[in-house]
Amino acid sequence: MSIESVMPSSHLILWRPLLLLPPIPPKCLGAEGRLAHKLFRDLFANYTSALRPVADTDQALNVTLEVTLSQIIDMDERNQVLTLYLWIRQEWTDAYLRWDPDTYGGLDAIRIPSSLVWRPDIVLYNKADAQAPASASTNVVLRHDGAVRWDAPAITRSSCRVDVSAFPFDAQGCGLTFGSWTHGGHQLDVGPLGGAASLADFVENVEWRVLGMPARRRVLTYGCCSELYPDVTFTLLLRRRAAAYVCNLLLPCVLTSLLAPLAFHLPVDSGEKVSLSVTVLLALTVFQLILAESMPPAERKYYMATMTMVTFSTALTILIMNLHYCGPSARPVPAWARALLLGRLARGLCVRERGEPCGQSRPPESSPSPQPPDRGTGPPAGPCREPRCLCRQEALLRHVATITNTFHSHRAAQRRHEDWKRLARVMDRFFLGIFFSMALVMSLLVLVQAL
């Protein structure tokens, strides 16, 4: 006759874990094995894992939580998901799993499958995985006083608010909140073991440096329920290792930004001033797109400031080229610009003509006014009565005067054109110093943060 036919169904549920165990012949068991087998049958004869193991239902069951960080698997900044490999230890006291060690030959602890005992429904609140949580099929250590210790490995995917505004010199703080899903604080009270998670077995990460993982207990209420729910939050403090990003991403961007002011030093006649500025702007745009693909949307102050500076330098380069190509028909340089820019600023920036010493500017030359031919020394009016008459040279003198006036007019136009070209060189030299200083200061401020 089988045990199912003589045992009520209510008691059969309690005996089902025992029925699944294969029978052990007595002759194959030693003294300790027989005692452990007897202890197991005695403990689980009337035990159920469906209810909280407390003698008084009004009493809260205390659960101690300990976390050991083993490895940082992945930090997805764009999707803001942190993947960790943890060792989670939970300890509580089961009031129905106690025995006297002297009765069982001094046996004070046994290891049994965790599915046979009651386990707290502690889950990760900020879980970012679509799959349902699965309990690890590991054993629990059961002591004679009812203390239960459950060690289980877990790979967690938690949501983490990532701030990359200071990339690549950013620091992150990601919290992992553990708590009971159905039991309130009056039924199950959870607390941390110690003030922080253990880092003794942590495998160093190539991208992140772990600064610590402090633990904090909180008691909160939620909109669904009026009960108080305690939880434990472990905050993983991370700082990015910026050396690789500085060499591979930031340093090329800094060097590219330092090329932008050199467009002011490039001769206008080369025809590559605007091309250089546009090429630098496109290079910075590529760096920005690379960051946008791997990072969440954030304000990147250095890249935006550098692109703004390159844009302004390109616009100023175009304006300076217009000054350079002012033709001979252009108006003369204004008096204030001649005195301030071609005078003081040109001497200060050492912009000079060929053969002119530095610090001295060419004095402005006034175009000579055309002089009419002097008729006082010419031949007397009237018919020529001398054999070698000079009156025929009067037409020649008028032609010479016309040629002279044309030459002076052309010389004055050329002088005006040279003044505008010289003014363009002064402006190029001035903005070269301004924008190069700005690019150097911004680059140094960024690189100093890496030290």
Reported as type and span, the H/E element at residue 74 is strand 61-76
In a domain, 18, yes or no: no
In a domain, 333, yes or no: yes
Say how many C-beta atoms besides its own lie within 10 A of residue 145's C-beta: 13
Task: Rank 69-83, 252-266, 383-397 by mean pLDDT and report only the highest.
Answer: 69-83
- Domain range for 339 is 245-344+400-450
Nearest to 211 by CA among 235, 234, 238: 238
* Residue at which a domain ends, from 194, 212, 240: 240
Token code pair at residue 203? 């495998």
> Do 108 and 182 share a structural domain?
yes
Predicted pLDDT at 74: 93
Contact call for residues 51 and 138 (beta carbons, < 8 A): no
> What average pLDDT does the segment 50-54 reach?
90
In a domain, 173, yes or no: yes
Interstrand relation of 122-124 and 188-192 (parallel, antiparallel or unpaired): unpaired
pLDDT band for position 13 (50/70/90)?
very low
Residue spans of beta strands (DSSP E) within 196-350: 208-212, 215-220, 229-240
> What average pLDDT does the segment 268-294 reach?
82
pLDDT band for position 189 (50/70/90)?
very high
Contact call for residues 255 and 270 (beta carbons, < 8 A): no
Predicted pLDDT at 146: 93
pLDDT band for position 166 (50/70/90)?
confident
Cis peptide preceding 25, ω within 30 of 0: no
> Do 236 and 104 share a structural domain?
yes
Residue 361 per-residue DSSP state: -
> Do 418 and 328 share a structural domain?
yes
Interstrand relation of 215-220 and 109-113 (parallel, antiparallel or unpaired): unpaired
* Residue at which a domain ends, from 215, 240, 265: 240
pLDDT band for position 147 (50/70/90)?
very high
Predicted pLDDT at 212: 94
In a domain, 362, yes or no: no
Sign for the CA dihedral angle at 67, 72, 77, 82 comes to negative
Whether the pLDDT of residue 363 is over 80: the answer is: no
In a domain, 6, yes or no: no
Distance in angstroms (rounded) separating the CA atoms of residues 414 and 422 = 12
Distance in angstroms (rounded) separating the CA atoms of residues 97 and 31 = 22
Predicted pLDDT at 221: 84
Q: Counting beta carbons within 10 angstroms of the beta carbon of residue 305, is it exposed (0 to 12), middle (13 to 18) or buried (19 or more)?
A: middle
- What does the pLDDT look like over 61-77, one tens digit per residue? 999 999 999 999 999 88
Q: Which amino acid is it at 75?
A: M
Q: What is the DSSP string of 415-433?
A: HHHHHHHHHHHHHHHHHHH
SS3 label, residue 412: helix
Predicted pLDDT at 278: 87
> What average pLDDT does the segment 359-368 reach?
50
Query: What would you measure as the largest C-alpha separation in the chain, in angstroms?
Result: 170
User: CATH number for the domain including 112?
Assistant: 2.70.170.10
Distance in angstroms (rounded) separating the CA atoms of residues 361 and 346 = 7
How many domains does the chain contain in total? 2
Contact call for residues 129 and 76 (beta carbons, < 8 A): no
Nearest to 143 by CA among 192, 189, 98, 95: 98
Structure-token match 């200060």, residue found: 348
> Do 418 and 276 share a structural domain?
yes
Give me the helices (H) in 375-392, please.
none
The pTM (predicted TM-score) of the whole model is: 0.68
* Residue at which a domain ends, from 195, 216, 240: 240
> Do 177 and 261 share a structural domain?
no
Residue 440 per-residue DSSP state: H
In a domain, 367, yes or no: no
Whether the pLDDT of residue 210 is over 70: the answer is: yes
DSSP helix, strand, coil percent of the chain (3-state; round to 5): 40, 20, 40
In a domain, 394, yes or no: no
Predicted pLDDT at 305: 82
Distance in angstroms (rounded) separating the CA atoms of residues 295 and 361 = 54
Q: Which amino acid is it at 234?
A: F
> Do 187 and 47 share a structural domain?
yes
pLDDT band for position 135 (50/70/90)?
low
Q: Which amino acid is it at 6?
A: V
Structure-token match 């031919």, residue found: 373
In a domain, 12, yes or no: no
Phi, psi of 407 (to 5 degrees): -65, -45
> Do 232 and 130 share a structural domain?
yes
pLDDT band for position 110 (50/70/90)?
very high
> Do 282 and 202 share a structural domain?
no
309 contacts: CB under 8 Å, gap ≥ 6: 257, 260, 435, 438, 439, 442
Say how many C-beta atoms besides its own lie within 10 A of residue 252's C-beta: 13
> Do 189 and 269 share a structural domain?
no
> Do 264 and 231 share a structural domain?
no
User: CATH number for the domain including 437?
Assistant: 1.20.58
Nearest to 228 by CA among 179, 157, 271, 192: 179
Nearest to 169 by CA among 238, 257, 236: 238
Cα distances (angstroms) measured from residue 210 to each of 162, 203, 296: 15, 10, 21
Say how many C-beta atoms besides its own lie within 10 A of residue 23's C-beta: 6
Contact call for residues 352 and 360 (beta carbons, < 8 A): yes
Whether the pLDDT of residue 330 is over 70: the answer is: no
> Do 234 and 196 share a structural domain?
yes
> Do 92 and 56 share a structural domain?
yes
88-92, 138-142, 192-196, 292-296, range with the lowest pLDDT: 292-296
SS3 label, residue 127: strand
Structure-token match 């002088």, residue found: 415
